[in-house]
Amino acid sequence: MAHSSLLVWPFLLITSAYAAPAKVILRENAVLDRHIVTLADVAIIESEDAALHQALSSTRLATLSAPGKPRKLRRSRIEHILSRYHPAWQGSYNIAGAEFVLATRAESQSLNASALQTWAANTLSASLHAHIPGARLDVAAYPLSSASVYHLPGTVSYAVRHVQMVPSQRMAMVVDVLVDGAKTVSVPVWLRVEGSLPVMRLKATTAAGARLSSSMVDIIDVPVSGKRLASFPITEIDSFRLRHSMSAGSLLSPDDLLVRKPVERGSEITVKVARSGILLEDRAVAITEGPSGAAVRLMNPRTHSDYFATVLSDGLAEAR
């Protein structure tokens, strides 16, 4: 492999020798968002040779210190750096333009912590109230970390990167800070949540594995606490089973619930059968269980023969 590389390198040099010299046109000023200065930051580079263009563009010329403090880069200095780092490309480029470039690191500004906290609190409040109809909540952000956060000047906006949606007294959100639409930094925000939530309470003692329904629970308002409680529209309770037995008056939490599959083992379901262009319906007992789209094994209760069908929806499958 090394021998092949040695053969290719002279070929590239010969090829570039026949190409038109690259043009490097220096600008008079360059403002950067970082401290490292490359030739591409301070010049327009035109070249038909992709390898030469990449080599010139990525050449490091200098580093900048404090924001707002310009550094003068003379053409002679840039020529010296290029000849030093790319001796094989000598004669393959011409430098024109300004006699020197003033390179400056952009002034950064401190993050408006108050604006970010207000946005985070309002966003979480709106999300919780939309997710939990009937909730009465007051959300406020805790002060941000004392560590200062800086970003480049521009139009600042925010976007949620991550947020927990199970209400508790103390909740976390990670916010992306965008400047002119581009992400610059992510900031963790802690929020205090006070008020009450509508939660579900069992009307009667219920056994483990029982299918739940809206008729089996009451909705009551309880203060927000550190305990995670099931707080969602009551119509969704039909999608769950009880994980373990619970006594009457117990408040349901997400840990008490098991998502019920559309077809469950031992349940009697409707099976659609397409034969000779005719659609028939039959009843069967599920031997295995599965979500929508899954293949489950069914048994005909009359003949006790078994076969496979595809789950369509709750209690419905299709056999072909």
**Do the beta carbons of residue 266 and residue 286 sit within 8 Å?**
yes
Model confidence over 128-146: pLDDT tens digits?
998 888 899 999 999 987 5
pTM listed for this prediction: 0.54
Indicate the range of 16-25, 51-60, 264-273 predicted with least confidence: 16-25
19 pLDDT higher than 70? no
Nearest to 102 by CA among 35, 25, 29: 29
- CA distances 73 to 27, 29, 80, 91, 313, Å, are 11, 10, 11, 21, 70
Q: How far is 150 from 251, CA to CA, in rounded Å?
A: 46
Q: How far is 257 from 66, CA to CA, in rounded Å?
A: 57
Model confidence over 176-196: pLDDT tens digits?
999 888 888 889 999 999 999
Q: How far is 249 from 200, CA to CA, in rounded Å?
A: 9
Indicate the range of 29-33, 92-96, 144-148 predicted with least confidence: 144-148
b/e per residue, 217-243, with b = 16+ CB within 10 A? beeeeeebeeeebbbeebeebebbbbe
Neighbour count for residue 179 (Cβ, 10 Å):
17
CB burial of residue 263 (10 Å; 0-12, 13-18, 19+) = buried
Q: How far is 220 from 240, CA to CA, in rounded Å?
A: 19
Q: What percent of the chain has pLDDT over 70?
A: 92
**For the chain, which domains are there?**
2-105 (2.60.480.10), 110-193 (no CATH), 197-259 (3.90.1210.10), 268-319 (2.30.30.760)
Residue appearing with tokens 């200098």 = 62
200 pLDDT higher than 80? yes
253 pLDDT higher than 60? yes
